[in-house]
Amino acid sequence: MVMILLVALITFGVMFIIHQVMKSPAFGYRNRKLPLPPGTLGYPYVGETFQLYSHNPNVFFASKIKKYGSVFKSHILGCPCVMISSPEAAKFVLSTRSDLFKPTFPASKERMLGKQAIFFHQNDYHLKLRKLVVRAFMPDSIRNFVSDIDSIASATLKSFEGSLINTFQEMKTYTFNVALLSIFGKDEIEYREELKKCYYILEKGYNSMPINLPGTLFNKSMKARKELTRISAEIIRNRRETKKDHQDLLASFMCDKEGLTDEQIIDNVIGVIFAARDTTASVLTWIVKYLADNQAVLLAVTEEQEAIIKEKEKSGEERALRWRDTKKMPYTTRVIQETLRVASILSFTFREAVEDVEYEGYLIPKGWKVLPLFRNIHHSPLHFPEPDKFDPSRFEVAPKPNTFLPFGNGIHSCPGNELAKLEMLVLIHHLTTKYRWSIIGPQNEIQYGPFALPQNGLPIELFSKSQE
C-alpha cells in the first residue's frame, strides 16, 4: 500500500512538472526564424532559481555574461526569461520601447501582492495609479511628513542606545513605520502591530517556491495576505464612516472621482508597503556599513549634518528637522547615491514581452520575462572607474544616461523615490550627530536572498555621543 502511494505521488509530481513545462512560453518557439539568445534554461520548472538566489548575484551574472554576452536566456521562479546587461538594452526595455514590455512578476508574486497592484499594469490603469501615488509622494506632499519622520527616526535610534542590534531588522522596523505613516497617516497607529505581524509572515514566503500546500512558506504567506486584506478593508470602512480629511496615499486612492474599487485600493496599499520597506531598509543597512568602513566619508557627513544644527541654534530655531534642512545635505545625498550604486539592492527588475520582440538579432518570445540587470550596469568599469570602490565624489558629476538606475527608468520608475531619500537623509542626520557605532562580527562577508546584505544583517553596538 505504501509503495503504491509512493509511486502515485511520484507519478503526480512528474506529470505536474511536465504540465508546467509544456504550458510554459519556453515551448512553441522552435519554428520561428530568429534564434533565442544563448544560455541555458536549467532544470524543468525550477530552472536556475536556486543558483541565482543562493549565491552571489555578481558571480551568477558575471559568469553568464562572460560565457554568452550581454544578452542571454535563463529560467527562474518558474519563468523563462532573457537577461540584459547594457545601458542601451535597459533603455530599450524600460523607456524607448516600454510599450513592448509590461511590468510583471512571477505569478506567485502577483498573488501575494495583488493582481491589481501598480507593478503589474500599463497603459491607462497604470497611468491613473501612478498619478495617485506621485500625488501622495511628491515633494509638496511628503514635506508635511518631515516632522513625523524626524520623530520616528529619533525614537528608533534612541531605543538602540547601548544595545547590540541587527541593523537590517531594525531598519526594516523604521522603514515599515514610515511606510505606514505615508500610506495610512495617523490611522496606522491603531493597526500597526497587526499589520506588522501579517506583513512579516508574508515577506518570509516572498521568494519561496509557489507550492500552496499546508505548512509551506507560500501557504503561510497567502494566509497572511488574506489577513492584510481584512485589516485594510476595515481601515477603509472606518474612513468612509468618519469622513475625516486625510493627506496620505490611502486618501489619494479613495478619492471618489478616481473610481477605484476596494480590491484595487487594497492591492496597491499592500504593494506599496512591499516596495517602500525592505529595499530602503537594505540601503540604510549598507550606509551604516560604508560609513563605518570609510571614516573620512563619515567625518564629512557628520560635519555637514552638524552645520545644520549649528545654523538652527544660531537662529534660535528648534532642533527638529524641517523640509528646507534636507536641501542642505548635498554630500550626504551623494553618499546615498553611491550606496545605491555599490550595493545595488535591486539586482534586476521584471518585465514581460507583450508580443514577439527582435533585439540584436535575437527573438524575445511573447510571454517571456525580460530582466534588465541593474547590478551589472552599476558595476561596469566602463561607466564607473574602480566600481567596487566606495567613492561619493563620483556623483559630483551626473552619471551618463541609463548607467545609474537604482529606481528604474521610464514610466514605471519608482514613484516613491523622493520619500525613500527623505527618510534616509533624516535617519542619517540623527545617526551621525548623536551616535557612534561599531560593527560586531564579520566585517566583509555578504549574504544573499533575495537582497545582498552584510552578513547576519550587520550586528552593531550603538553608543550615544552625549555619554562620552
Binding-site residues from annotation for heme? 414
Instruction: List, as residue ranges, the binding site.
Output: 414
Distance CA 115, CA 268 (A): 9
Distance CA 203, CA 228 (A): 12
Sign of the torsion formed by the C-alpha atoms of 334, 161, 274 and 268: negative
CA distance 118 to 238: 24
Q: 47 in helix, strand or coil?
A: strand
Check if the beta carbon of residue 83 is closer than 8 Å to that of residue 373: yes
Q: Would you put residue 185 in left (φ > 0), alpha (ψ -120 to 50) or beta?
A: left
Helix (H, G, I), strand (E, B) or coil at 362: strand
**Residue entry with cell 495583488:** 114
The Cβ of residue 120 has, within 10 Å, a number of other Cβ atoms equal to 21
SS3 459: strand
Q: Please answer whether residues 104 and 352 qualify as being in contact, where contact means their C-beta atoms are separated by less than 8 angstroms.
A: yes
Q: How far apart are CA 199 and CA 215, in angstroms?
A: 17
- Distance, in Å, from the CA atom of 378 to the CA atom of 458, rounded to the nearest integer, reads 23
The C-alpha cell that represents 447 in the structure block = 549574504
d(CA 9, CA 15): 10
Instruction: Give the pairing type, strands 435-439 and 369-372.
Output: unpaired
CB atoms within 10 A of CB 333: 18
Q: Is 220 exposed, middle or buried (0-12, 13-18, 19+ CB in 10 A)?
A: middle
Q: What angle do CA 106, 110, 113 make, to 5 degrees?
A: 135
> Kind and range of the H or E element at 446?
strand 446-447
User: What does DSSP say about strands 79-84 and 351-353: parallel, antiparallel, or unpaired?
Assistant: unpaired
Burial letters for 451-460: b for 16+ Cβ neighbours within 10 Å, e otherwise?
bbbbeebbbb
